[in-house]
Amino acid sequence: MRVCARRRFRTLSTIISLALCVARNVVAQPALPPKAKADSAKTPAPLFTTKDFIVAGIFTGGMVAMFPLDERLAKHLTNPGAQANKFFKNASTGVEWIASPGPYFIGGTLYAVGRIGHFDRVADLGWHGTEAVLVADALTYVLKGLNGRSRPYVSNDTNPRDYKLLKGFSDGSRQSFPSGHTTSAFAAAAAVTAETGTWWPKSTWVIGPLMYGGATMVGLSRMYHNKHWASDVVLGAAIGTFSGWKIVQYSHAHPTRLDKALLNVSVVPAGEGQWALAWSGTLP
């Protein structure tokens, strides 16, 4: 029984990873030559492109495909054999902490280090990663509240179709759809991959699999702990991925006043062993 559960766990992980790999390859943009970059600067790229809709279609298809499998997958991952596996139990707890509240601590630390040490790229990474998680979490909270889907443990993994409109705002056991931990993990993964890809395009093939692989483990851990259905995880991955991509893309193309303010603040010596906050930039 334990071997069978482990195989199913690995199979589900592989399916999600392959879907994310396809999505990432679809939106991968080749580096533009200097002239093309100059021409594109005159006309800002649209926020949503045809490729984005293709990726959205992939995620939607994945989520719809999971609906009939929600009950079966939940029972497989919560059977005694799988739950008795010490590796799954320890690993799932660790990755969940990294997903929430980890991104806020990590992002805040990167931002602070970047501003104190005058490492602009590090500050960019910390702020945009945090911003992506904030946006994704806010959207997820609204959807959880509106859908009111019961978590798997409520019905002992037997009723993935239990929705009650607006009940998710007041009842924690009805905040299943989508998965918040998964959303946060994929938002951070997408933002980090996109941000580092702007400095070093080839890094996408190294950082991308690491970040998205870790985010996938977060989603699987939420299913392993019987807190979410498989379709919750796929929708959370979609929201998080788009939030990370679009926050980085939009912030670099159209920096907001908040971006300009936070990313132009630095810590400078003020004499006699004291330090002060300084701001540099063009006033709006």
pTM: 0.78
The whole-number average pLDDT for the span 79-106 is: 74
22 vs 51: which has the higher pLDDT: 51
The domain segmentation of the chain, as residue ranges, is 2-28+45-266
152 pLDDT above the threshold of 80: yes
pLDDT of residue 172: 94
Reported as half-sphere exposure (CB side, CA atoms, 13 A), residue 108 has a value of: 6
CB contact at 8 A, 179 and 228: yes
Q: Output b/e per residue, 36-46; b: 16+ Cβ within 10 A.
A: eeeeeeeeeee
The mean-pLDDT minimum among 107-111, 201-205, 233-237 falls in: 201-205
CB contact at 8 A, 72 and 11: no
25 vs 115: which has the higher pLDDT: 115
